Every structure is written in C-alpha cells, then in structure tokens.
C-alpha cells in the first residue's frame, strides 16, 4: 500500500484561504515582457535574464477590484506560482511543475527560484545533450502530487530548504523507498539554494572589489 505524504501548505495569498478560487482571483493577462519592478526583483535574486525570459512571465491579475502584477512560473495544470517583493502565492490550480527529459535521474526543488538558481550555478546541465529531468514542488505540500513523476526515475537528487519542511519531505521520500541523495549540505549555511547563490555572488563581487583596490598604476 502506497504511503501518502501529508504536509501543511503555507502559502500567502491576496485573499483568505476559504475564498481562494479562480473566480475570486481574475487573470487579466500574461506577458513575456517584465515590468521594471519585477525585473529588479528577480535580478536581485541573482537569476540571469536568459533564464528569466525562458521560464518566467509577468502575470497581471485582479483581486476584489484591485490589479496586481507578479512574476509567474507556470505549473503542470496551467496555474502560476506568483512572486513579487511583497507577495508570495499562486494563481490556481496549485500543483507541481515537471520537466521530463526521459532520464533515469531527477532533480527535486522546492521552489522555482531554487530551480533557476541550480541552472545558474550549473548552466551546462541544461545545455547538455541529455539534460536532467526535474520537478519543482511549488510547496512541500505538493510532494504527494510529485510521487508518480519521481517513481519514473531511479535516482532522486533533492535541493530542498534547510528547514523543518524540507527535512520532513526528505525523510518521507526515504521511508517510501526512493533512492534519494540529499544535496542540501552543499548550501548548509543557507536556508535554500537561492540564498546560497546570492551569497556566492556577493562574495565574488566583494573579492573583485578588494582586488581592484590593490591594483597600482
């Protein structure tokens, strides 16, 4: 009998959970061109523009007569994970996002900024002749939805957050018999892979500035 994963979904929305629906949240438009404030937001997260253009869109939506805009990361059912500097939520339906490249290995990410951070850190992974399959949970609460996709792979590499939710999800996968490699030790000093990316780039920038000060003319 398959063991089911039960995790709480902690997602901020622009409306109360009891009224969350497509009817309450009206989609206005989806645009490939990002407005300046969303460009700055994702640039501050150290995600390069080529990945932003490939995987993200600007989603404009209405809630209770007020218009909002956020970065949108599309999921497998046509919904969007939504992010801007002040908001983290979704345009329903909320589910996982998968990238099936028919490989035996699969990379598992908690959020789309972690997925894009991985591609930023390892750009050749995506450009190789055999790119790796990947699944973005868009919340650890979606782990159960990812099980059929994960079951198609013999080796799972997880890049989950260094918090209770990430650790619980990892242990759940191991108990269910998945061959899992926990990669969170690579960014053990940070909460998640995007925090690690930001810290690495800040350190590199600081080092370059320090070196430039030592140059004598």
**SS3 call for 77:** coil
**Three-state secondary structure readout of 91-157:** ECCCCCEEECCCCCEEEEECCHHHHHHHHHHCHHHHHCCCCCEEEECCCHHHHHHHHHHHCCCCEEE
DSSP-derived letter for residue 4 is: P
> pLDDT value at position 152?
95
Scan for tokens 């996968």, then name that residue: 173
Position 129 pLDDT exceeds 80? no
**Average confidence (pLDDT) over 102-111:** 96
Q: What percentage of the chain exceeds 70 in pLDDT?
A: 80
> pLDDT value at position 61?
95
Position 84 pLDDT exceeds 70? yes
Position 11 pLDDT exceeds 50? no
**Residue length of the chain:** 217
Q: Which two tokens stand for residue 8?
A: 């709480």
136/138 Cα distance (integer angstroms) = 6
> pLDDT value at position 105?
94
When pLDDT is cut at 50, 70 and 90, the band that residue 46 belongs to is: very high
CATH class for the domain made up of 97-196 = alpha beta
**Average confidence (pLDDT) over 102-122:** 95
**SS3 call for 74:** strand
Scan for tokens 């039960």, then name that residue: 6
Half-sphere exposure of 171 (CA within 13 A, CB side): 9
DSSP-derived letter for residue 180 is: E
Position 19 pLDDT exceeds 90? no
> pLDDT value at position 25?
86
Scan for tokens 């901020």, then name that residue: 12
Q: Structural domain boundaries of the chain? A: 17-91, 97-196
**Average confidence (pLDDT) over 13-32:** 63
Contact assessment for residue 73 and residue 97, using Cβ atoms and an 8 Å cutoff = yes
Average pLDDT, rounded, for the chain: 85
> pLDDT value at position 126?
60
Of 21-35, 46-60, 180-194, which gets the smallest average pLDDT? 21-35
> pLDDT value at position 138?
97
More confident residue, 204 or 179: 179
């Amino acid at each position: 009998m398959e063991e089911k994963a039960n995790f709480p979904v902690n997602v901020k929305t622009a409306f109360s959970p009891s009224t969350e629906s497509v009817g309450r949240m009206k989609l206005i438009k989806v645009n490939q061109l990002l407005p300046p404030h969303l460009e700055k937001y994702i640039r501050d997260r150290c995600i390069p523009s080529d990945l932003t253009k490939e995987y993200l869109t600007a989603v404009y939506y209405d809630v209770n007569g007020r218009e909002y805009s956020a970065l949108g990361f599309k999921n497998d059912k046509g919904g969007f994970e939504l992010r801007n500097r002040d908001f983290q939520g979704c345009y329903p339906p909320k589910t996982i996002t998968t990238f099936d490249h028919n490989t035996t290995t699969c990379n598992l990410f908690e959020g789309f900024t972690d997925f894009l951070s991985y591609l930023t850190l390892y750009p050749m992974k995506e450009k190789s002749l055999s790119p790796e399959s990947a699944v973005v949970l868009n919340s650890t609460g979606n782990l159960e939805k990812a099980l059929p996709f994960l079951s198609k792979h013999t080796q799972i590499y997880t890049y989950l957050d260094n918090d209770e939710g990430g650790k619980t999800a990892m242990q759940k996968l191991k108990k269910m018999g998945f061959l899992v490699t926990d990669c969170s030790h690579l960014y053990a000093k940070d909460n998640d892979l995007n925090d690690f990316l930001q810290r690495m780039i800040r350190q590199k920038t600081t080092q370059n500035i320090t070196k430039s000060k030592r140059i004598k003319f």
